[in-house]
Amino acid sequence: MKQGKRLSRNQRQHLAALGFNPFEWLLCKQANGIWILEHTRTLELKEIEAPR
């Protein structure tokens, strides 16, 4: 999988609203209204819905 990218301001706000710490997550993939996030330390992957 590709290397994760830092989140934009709007993406950080959306993650914070979902209860995630946005500074610990990187965006790996954005497709079909789904974001695949990678944790910076544990390398855990999560799928969440993108905002509409």
CA distance 23 to 33: 21
CA distance 33 to 43: 22
Contact (Cβ atoms closer than 8 angstroms) between residue 24 and residue 44 = no
- Domain ranges, residue 25: 9-49
pLDDT tens by residue, the chain, 52 residues: 778 999 999 999 999 999 999 999 999 999 999 999 999 999 999 999 999 8
Q: How many domains does the chain have?
A: 1
43 part of a folded domain: yes
| pTM tops 0.95 | no
